[in-house]
């Protein structure tokens, strides 16, 4: 495939390295508005775009891809307050969009385990649940999209919780899931779900060792999205 990279930071370079291994061509690298204007004809020749840009530019990038009939895989987080509108626009215009808060296969297995565990723990009210996440200092949004996904999945299963809140310092209300977000060094990403009681503690944890797992997952998503129309997530990819 001919791939356009939207955002050419550390994730973009990690995707480029694995794309080359998988015999794909990185045809365009977009890192600013000037790149969009200079490479518009090249973008029309691409098969798919992969966006790891910035929260403030993600939606604009998606819409530009829709205008070019270019399928787009989006790993940028921090813009999900507009997700519902973007997905509806995708469907109305018969475009192709793949969105994931985390492309790691291991993390998506943890998502599944997290949902199953929350369903089980709904019976045991003596356990309180919290989430912590740690990322590199360059990550702009907090909490991470992955942590929010974990929290939202728990909320669907755990009746005693009605909301999540970012709670680095102040204690969370009893009906809320407290999320602690830390930014340290060059940490790729660690996410931990903890159920704690007076008797014991149960921990579910995923620790990324590098960006390679995220890059591979994004490329698998791009290969999956090729020649499709509609809105897709990692659940569809893993199920297929």
State whether 132 and 159 are in the same domain. yes
Give the pLDDT of residue 88: 98
Q: Which domain covers residue 189, as residue numbers?
A: 105-207
CATH number (domain holding residue 151):
3.30.360.10
Number of domains in the chain: 2
- Residue of 135, 161, 191, 206 marked active site: 135
Q: How many residues does the chain have?
A: 240
The torsion defined by the Cα of 121, 170, 100 and 201, in degrees rounded to 10, comes to -30
State whether 197 and 121 are in the same domain. yes
State whether 70 and 117 are in the same domain. no
- Residue of 136, 139, 212, 229 marked active site: 139
State whether 98 and 110 are in the same domain. no
Give the pLDDT of residue 188: 84
State whether 115 and 198 are in the same domain. yes
State whether 200 and 217 are in the same domain. no
Give the pLDDT of residue 17: 94
Query: For this structure, is 174 an active site residue?
Result: no
State whether 144 and 71 are in the same domain. no
Q: What are the residues whose beta carbons fall under 8 Å from the beta carbon of 131, sequence distance 6 or more?
A: 143, 147, 150, 151, 164, 177, 178, 179, 180, 191, 192, 193, 194
Give the pLDDT of residue 139: 84
What is the distance between the alpha carbons of residues 153 and 88, in angstroms, rounded to a whole number?
Answer: 22
Give the pLDDT of residue 101: 87
Give the pLDDT of residue 240: 78
State whether 199 and 110 are in the same domain. yes
State whether 99 and 109 are in the same domain. no
Average pLDDT, 10 consecutive residues per value, the chain (240 residues): 94 94 95 92 96 95 97 94 97 97 91 97 97 90 92 97 90 93 89 97 94 92 94 90
pTM score of the predicted model: 0.80
Query: For this structure, is 228 an active site residue?
Result: no
Neighbours of 77 (CB within 10 A): 23
């Amino acid at each position: 495939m001919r791939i356009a990279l939207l955002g050419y930071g550390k994730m973009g370079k990690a995707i480029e390295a694995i794309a080359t291994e998988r015999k794909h061509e990185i045809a365009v690298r977009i890192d600013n508005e000037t790149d969009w204007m200079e490479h518009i004809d090249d973008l029309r020749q691409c098969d798919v775009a992969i966006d790891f840009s910035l929260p403030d530019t993600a939606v604009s990038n998606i819409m530009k891809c829709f205008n070019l009939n270019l399928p787009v895989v989006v790993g940028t987080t921090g813009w999900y307050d507009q997700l519902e509108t973007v997905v509806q626009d995708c469907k109305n215009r018969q475009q192709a969009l793949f969105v994931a808060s985390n492309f790691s296969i291991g993390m998506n297995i943890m998502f599944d385990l997290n949902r199953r565990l929350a369903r089980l723990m709904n019976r045991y009210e003596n356990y309180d649940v919290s989430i912590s996440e740690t990322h590199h200092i360059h990550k702009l949004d907090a909490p991470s999209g992955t942590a929010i996904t974990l929290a939202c999945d728990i909320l669907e299963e755990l009746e005693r919780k009605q909301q999540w809140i970012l709670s680095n310092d102040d204690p969370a209300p009893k009906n809320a899931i407290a999320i602690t977000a830390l930014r340290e060094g060059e940490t790729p990403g660690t996410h931990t779900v903890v159920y704690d009681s007076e008797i014991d503690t149960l921990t579910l944890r995923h620790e990324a060792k590098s960006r390679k797992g995220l890059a591979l997952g994004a490329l698998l998503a791009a290969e999956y999205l090729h020649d499709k129309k509609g809105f897709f997530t990692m659940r569809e990819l893993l199920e297929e």
